[in-house]
């Protein structure tokens, strides 16, 4: 039997829980459950613990070998980092841009404390301004999209700001024009709004044009008003937003069912208090998305009032997946997290990494949702810095700057050797936005982002394991025990 | 006799074989205009552009009114219900009625809608022809005791690994190819255009009776066709992809293909695939799998120029494709064709299809010996 010491190491993540021992096999994107002696032996192999290797029973070593023979504990690595879409990038951008996002205005009537466009908070991003997209530019954008989407089955145009409805006239012009241009195709429109400008006429218009509408709302009045205040007088916007949501439901109830809320959670607040938002008779009927507030210096604080409530509800949420707890009694923000978790863990399923591959983070820049700013300049999405040179993907006048597109797609090349040896290769979440440092793609910044990305990948793996263990455990236990 | 000019509307990806073959199969017709809304992106372009192919010789227009005026008959092409193109098909039909032009309708209409259009057309003296699928023969109480029918003619089956990977075009090309050789072919497919071509359109998803009973009914259906038409060759295109693609894109899990395989076996099987699947290591186990599941392995593989776009998060239950230039796909196919023992090609290209026809000719039609079923 070949001793495993000093051999190339398998590309795996070895971990244990109170109930079991496992490894995640990167080359196959699968989780394998093992017994304790085998776990210890794999651990010794990974860490070159000579003594453990010497003392391991032959039976355990042969179990290890059996796994190897079955195609696990593989030591091979990706040979070349290259995104699979690289060779067809021009084709995708020529025929299949999925969606575009138009920056109809850079202005906003609110000044949210965490907003990336706040004059003081984010030095690496543009600030609020009076700049607006003209119809001439918007028309060119629609024409460009039309010319580059013959293979797109369901074209979509998003409107983005600032607050998009500050330039409602342009939105209406674009909708009218785009419906003509895309006649015969199922064109859809999307907007995220702070909902302060929703009038009866606007609600009717949005319903008539079947907008995918998302309303930003951060919590009950006490929380929402901490952050989301009017630019004009610094007063909280909650009352206005909630009044408009009520108006939406009363005026266009069928349309209202399709509208969702988007919450930016500040975890310094209490979990219970945040979720009390969903006591509102209208808001509780709406789909709800949320994210944790981002700060440029990563200084987000989690209070115990948040984490205790969140963890407890996650526990209940997980039980609800096994039908051991009523889903309706789990707090709304956690229900969404559990749904997301179930979606994410589905991504851990068999698939073989080839010799050429790329870490999982980047989308195909320009294809998924090409962001076009008020001047007609291109960016991968609305979340990146509009002042960054490396994120600038071209313009309506020059077309795509393919070198930049290739670079943003292949950020894995920045840290090629690290990536090849990383167990989280497939589930990496690092995209160009995270790597942008003063307008350049930075290997150092990418490495800094690795810890968070690996944490998220491990979280996925842990959650899959948790559900496995829960279902296995519950299958041995009857209700009431 | 002068041919009648047909205005085909609304044109979409699936319609290339209908346009290309209309005159071949229905000698009295010629394509006069191909119409689709301007939003499809084909205004004044060749129909091949929709699949990134070389020119196929028909320009597309969005001028519905004028196109209908310039033609004798309006052909409403088959479209999925509840889509903008279906609605455009209805709009075209109403324009045709307004201009008092004869109509051939491939759209699936509800009974009520069909009756309404028939009434209006009758009053206006317009010829309204709706292509309806054949009906499977009724259940027979004796079916389990009757012997299962095995056709005398060789059976060629064409199946797809994903939807819209040009299976119907390959089917039409084969039917045309053998027809031109003077061979009597019975051709069966689910596409409504088949009925227009004088071939058999059949709705295999007819849900009457037990699942097993449907297998007997399909078998009877084939028997009836063979008895009536006495074909030298039977060509069938399977209605849905033969396997689920993945956990999200499941189609009908290959149940239709399995059901038909129980009713009739293939003497020769052509599978149609998205672009990029070239390895013998991919096809050999798949062929073995098909052999075990359907009772026939793969003989030839059509590689389309459709690349699967698995980055599209918006439409999870359907595959999305981007079309690579057809000439590039063909070049790549020619380069790898020798690396596998399967006959690999782009069979929308009649030259490449000739290899399949030769193989069928030599192994099935002019074979020196063969097993009697």
Q: Stretch A310-319: mean pLDDT, rounded?
A: 94
CA-to-CA separations, B343 to B235, B303, B339, B360, in angstroms, rounded: 18, 11, 10, 12
For residues B154 and A360, give the distance between their C-alpha atoms in angstroms, rounded to a whole number: 49
In sequence order, the β-bridge partners of residue A263 are A290
Which tens digit of pLDDT belongs to each residue from B175-199?
999 999 999 999 999 999 999 999 9
Interface residue A150 vs chain B (CB under 8 A) = yes
CA-to-CA separations, B114 to B93, B121, B130, in angstroms, rounded: 12, 11, 8
Q: Which helix (H) or strand (E) holds B98?
A: helix B84-98
Q: Are A260 and A234 in contact (CB under 8 A)?
A: no
Q: Stretch B141-157: mean pLDDT, rounded?
A: 85
Interface residue A177 vs chain B (CB under 8 A) = no
Interface residue B44 vs chain A (CB under 8 A) = no
Q: Stretch A23-29: mean pLDDT, rounded?
A: 96
Q: Are A210 and A188 in contact (CB under 8 A)?
A: yes
Binary contact (A146, B315; C-beta < 8 A): no
* Longest distance between any two alpha carbons in chain B, whole Å: 63
Interface residue A187 vs chain B (CB under 8 A) = yes
For residues B199 and B306, give the distance between their C-alpha atoms in angstroms, rounded to a whole number: 27
For residues A20 and A15, give the distance between their C-alpha atoms in angstroms, rounded to a whole number: 9
Which tens digit of pLDDT belongs to each residue from B113-123?
999 999 999 99
Residue to mutate among B34, B62, B311, B320, with most A CBs inside 10 A, is B311
Q: Stretch A433-444: mean pLDDT, rounded?
A: 94
Structural tokens at position A373 = 């700013």
Binary contact (A146, B314; C-beta < 8 A): no
Higher pLDDT, B339 or B369: B339
Which tens digit of pLDDT belongs to each residue from A221-232?
999 999 999 999
Interface residue A86 vs chain B (CB under 8 A) = no
The length of chain A is 481
- Chain A residues lying within 8 Å of B39, measured CB to CB: 146, 180-185, 187
Q: Are A287 and A260 in contact (CB under 8 A)?
A: yes
DSSP class of B346: -
Residue in the structure block whose two tokens are 């509840």 = B82
Q: Are A268 and A220 in contact (CB under 8 A)?
A: no
On the question of pLDDT at A3 being above 60, the answer is no
Percent of chain B topping pLDDT 70: 97
Which tens digit of pLDDT belongs to each residue from B246-264?
888 899 899 999 999 999 9
Confidence band of A78 (pLDDT split at 50, 70, 90): very high
- Chain B residues lying within 8 Å of A88, measured CB to CB: 307, 322, 324
Angle between helices A135-147 and A168-181 (to 10 degrees): 30
User: pLDDT value at position A120?
Assistant: 66
User: pLDDT value at position A291?
Assistant: 92
Instruction: Estimate the share of chain B in helix, then strand, then coil, as percent rounded to the nearest 5.
Output: 40, 20, 45
> Which domains does chain B possess?
4-130 (3.40.50.720), 155-365 (3.40.50.300)
Residue to mutate among A147, A151, A187, with most B CBs inside 10 A, is A151
CA-to-CA separations, B370 to A379, B267, B363, B364, in angstroms, rounded: 64, 11, 9, 8
Binary contact (B315, A150; C-beta < 8 A): no
User: pLDDT value at position B372?
Assistant: 66
Percent of chain A topping pLDDT 70: 96
Q: Are A287 and A240 in contact (CB under 8 A)?
A: no
**Lowest mean pLDDT, pick from A18-27, A419-428, A467-476, B100-109:** A467-476
**Lowest mean pLDDT, pick from A264-273, A297-306, B72-81:** A297-306
- Chain B residues lying within 8 Å of A151, measured CB to CB: 309, 320-323
Confidence band of A478 (pLDDT split at 50, 70, 90): low
Q: Which of B52, B88, B321 sits opposite A184 (nearest CB)?
A: B88
- Chain A residues lying within 8 Å of B309, measured CB to CB: 92, 96, 151
For residues B179 and B184, give the distance between their C-alpha atoms in angstroms, rounded to a whole number: 6
Binary contact (B39, A150; C-beta < 8 A): no
Q: Which helix (H) or strand (E) holds A356?
A: strand A356-357
With H, G, I as helix, E, B as strand and everything else as coil, classify residue A447. Answer: helix
In sequence order, the β-bridge partners of residue B30 are B5
On the question of pLDDT at A308 being above 70, the answer is yes
Q: Which of B39, B322, B324 sits opposite A183 (nearest CB)?
A: B39
CA-to-CA separations, B320 to A94, A101, A184, in angstroms, rounded: 15, 21, 18
Residue A177: which of A209, A219, A203, A131 has the closest Cα?
A209
Q: Are A313 and A334 in contact (CB under 8 A)?
A: yes
Interface residue B47 vs chain A (CB under 8 A) = no
A89 φ, ψ to 5°? -60, -45
For residues A24 and A14, give the distance between their C-alpha atoms in angstroms, rounded to a whole number: 6
Binary contact (A184, B320; C-beta < 8 A): no
On the question of pLDDT at A357 being above 80, the answer is yes
- Chain B residues lying within 8 Å of A154, measured CB to CB: 314-315
Q: What is the ipTM of this complex?
A: 0.93
Percent of chain A topping pLDDT 90: 84
Q: Which of A150, A154, A363 sits opposite B314 (nearest CB)?
A: A154
**Lowest mean pLDDT, pick from A407-411, B126-130, B309-313:** B309-313
Binary contact (B307, A91; C-beta < 8 A): yes
User: For chain A, how far is it from start to end, CA to CA, in angstroms?
Assistant: 47
- Burial label for A279, CB within 10 Å (0-12, 13-18, 19+), is exposed
With H, G, I as helix, E, B as strand and everything else as coil, classify residue A134. Answer: coil
User: pLDDT value at position A481?
Assistant: 43
For residues B373 and B266, give the distance between their C-alpha atoms in angstroms, rounded to a whole number: 12
Provide the mean pLDDT of chain A: 93
Residue A45: which of A117, A34, A181 has the closest Cα?
A34
User: pLDDT value at position A477?
Assistant: 62
Q: Stretch A59-85: mean pLDDT, rounded?
A: 94
On the question of pLDDT at A1 being above 50, the answer is no
- Residue A358 C-alpha, separation from nearest chain B C-alpha, in angstroms: 14
- Chain B residues lying within 8 Å of A147, measured CB to CB: 41
With H, G, I as helix, E, B as strand and everything else as coil, classify residue A128. Answer: coil
- Chain A residues lying within 8 Å of B85, measured CB to CB: 184
Q: Are A389 and A440 in contact (CB under 8 A)?
A: yes
Residue to mutate among A145, A146, A150, with most B CBs inside 10 A, is A150
Preceding omega of B10 cis (within 30 degrees of 0): yes
User: Residues B302, B305, B310, CA angle at the centre, nearest 5°?
Assistant: 110
For residues A302 and A296, give the distance between their C-alpha atoms in angstroms, rounded to a whole number: 16
| pTM for the predicted model, two decimal places | 0.93
User: pLDDT value at position A4?
Assistant: 53
Q: Which of B62, B315, B322 sits opposite A154 (nearest CB)?
A: B315
Residue A257: which of A265, A245, A244, A275 has the closest Cα?
A245
For residues B54 and B52, give the distance between their C-alpha atoms in angstroms, rounded to a whole number: 7
Q: Stretch A277-287: mean pLDDT, rounded?
A: 95
DSSP class of B363: I
On the question of pLDDT at B173 being above 50, the answer is yes
Q: Stretch A399-420: mean pLDDT, rounded?
A: 96
Confidence band of B312 (pLDDT split at 50, 70, 90): low
Nearest residue in chain B measured CA to CA from A346: B247
């Amino acid at each position: 039997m070949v001793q495993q010491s000093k051999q190339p190491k398998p590309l795996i993540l070895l971990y244990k829980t109170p109930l079991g021992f496992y490894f995640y096999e990167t080359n196959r994107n699968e989780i394998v459950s093992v017994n304790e002696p085998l776990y210890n032996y794999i651990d010794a192999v990974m860490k070159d613990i000579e003594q453990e290797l010497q003392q391991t029973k032959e039976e355990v070593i042969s179990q290890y070998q059996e796994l190897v023979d079955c195609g696990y504990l593989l030591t091979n690595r990706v040979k070349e980092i290259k995104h699979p879409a690289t060779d067809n990038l021009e084709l995708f951008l020529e025929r299949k841009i999925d969606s575009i996002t138009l920056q109809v205005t850079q202005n906003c009537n609110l000044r949210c404390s965490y907003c990336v466009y706040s004059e003081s908070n984010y030095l690496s991003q543009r600030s609020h301004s009076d700049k607006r997209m003209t119809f001439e530019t918007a028309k060119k954008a629609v024409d460009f999209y039309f010319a580059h989407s013959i293979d797109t089955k369901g074209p979509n145009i998003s409107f983005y700001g600032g607050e998009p409805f500050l330039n409602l006239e342009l939105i209406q012009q674009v909708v009218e024009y785009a419906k003509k241009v895309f006649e015969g195709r199922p064109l859809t429109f999307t907007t995220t709004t702070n909902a302060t400008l929703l009038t009866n006429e606007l609600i009717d218009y949005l319903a008539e044009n079947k907008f995918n509408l998302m309303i930003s709302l951060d919590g009950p009045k006490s929380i929402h008003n901490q952050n989301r205040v009017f630019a004009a007088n610094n007063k909280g916007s909650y009352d206005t937003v909630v009044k408009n949501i009520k108006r939406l439901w009363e005026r266009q109830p069928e349309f209202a069912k399709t509208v969702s809320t988007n919450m930016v959670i500040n975890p310094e607040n209490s979990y219970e208090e945040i979720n009390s938002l969903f006591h509102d008779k209208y808001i509780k009927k709406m789909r709800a998305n949320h994210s944790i507030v981002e700060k440029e210096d990563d200084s987000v604080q989690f209070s115990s009032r948040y984490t205790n409530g969140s963890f407890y509800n996650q526990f209940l949420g997980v039980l609800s997946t096994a039908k051991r707890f009523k889903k309706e009694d789990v707090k709304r923000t956690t229900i969404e997290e559990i749904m997301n978790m179930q979606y994410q863990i589905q991504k851990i399923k068999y698939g073989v990494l080839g010799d050429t591959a790329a870490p999982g983070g980047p989308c195909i820049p320009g294809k998924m949702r090409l962001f076009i700013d008020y001047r007609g300049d291109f960016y991968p999405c609305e979340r990146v810095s509009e002042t960054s040179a490396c994120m600038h993907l071209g313009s309506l006048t020059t077309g795509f700057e393919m070198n930049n597109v290739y670079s943003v797609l292949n950020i894995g090349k920045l840290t090629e050797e690290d990536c090849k040896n990383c167990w989280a290769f497939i589930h990496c979440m690092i995209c160009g936005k995270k790597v942008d440092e003063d307008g350049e793609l930075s290997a150092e910044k990418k490495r800094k982002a690795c810890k968070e990305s690996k944490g998220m990948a491990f979280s996925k793996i842990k959650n899959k394991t948790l559900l496995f263990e829960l279902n296995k455990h519950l299958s041995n236990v009857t209700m009431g025990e | 006799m002068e041919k009648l000019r047909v205005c085909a509307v609304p044109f979409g990806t699936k319609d290339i074989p209908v346009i290309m073959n209309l005159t071949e199969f229905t000698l009295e017709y010629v394509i006069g205009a191909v119409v689709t809304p301007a939003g499809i992106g084909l205004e004044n372009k060749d129909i091949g552009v929709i699949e990134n192919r070389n020119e196929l010789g028909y320009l597309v227009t969005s001028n519905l009114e004028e196109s209908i005026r310039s033609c004798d008959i309006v052909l409403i092409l088959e479209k999925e219900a509840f889509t903008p193109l279906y609605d455009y098909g209805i709009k075209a039909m109403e324009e045709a009625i307004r201009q008092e032009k004869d109509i051939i309708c491939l759209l699936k209409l509800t009974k009520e809608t069909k009756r309404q259009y028939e009434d209006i057309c009758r009053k206006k003296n317009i010829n309204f022809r709706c292509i309806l699928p054949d009906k499977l023969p009724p259940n027979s109480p004796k079916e389990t005791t009757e012997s299962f029918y095995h056709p005398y003619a060789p059976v060629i089956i064409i199946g797809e690994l994903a939807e819209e990977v040009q299976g119907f075009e390959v089917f039409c090309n084969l039917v045309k190819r053998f027809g031109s050789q003077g061979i009597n072919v019975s051709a069966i497919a689910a596409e409504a255009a088949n009925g227009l071509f004088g071939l058999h359109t059949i709705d295999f998803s007819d849900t009457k009776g037990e699942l097993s009973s449907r297998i007997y009914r399909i078998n009877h259906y084939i028997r009836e066709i063979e008895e009536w038409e006495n074909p030298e060759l039977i060509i069938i295109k399977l209605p849905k992809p033969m396997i689920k693609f993945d956990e999200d894109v499941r189609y009908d899990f290959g149940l239709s293909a399995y059901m038909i395989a129980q009713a009739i076996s293939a003497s020769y099987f052509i599978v149609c695939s998205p672009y990029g699947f070239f390895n013998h290591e991919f096809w050999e186990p798949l062929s073995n799998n098909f052999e075990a599941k359907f009772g026939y392995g793969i003989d030839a593989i059509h590689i389309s120029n459709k690349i699967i776009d698995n980055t599209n998060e918006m439409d999870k239950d359907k595959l999305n494709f981007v079309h690579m230039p057809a000439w590039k796909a063909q070049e790549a196919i020619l380069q790898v064709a020798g690396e596998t023992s399967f006959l690999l090609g782009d069979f929308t290209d009649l030259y490449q299809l000739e290899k399949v026809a030769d193989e069928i000719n030599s192994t099935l039609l002019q074979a020196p010996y063969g097993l009697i079923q």
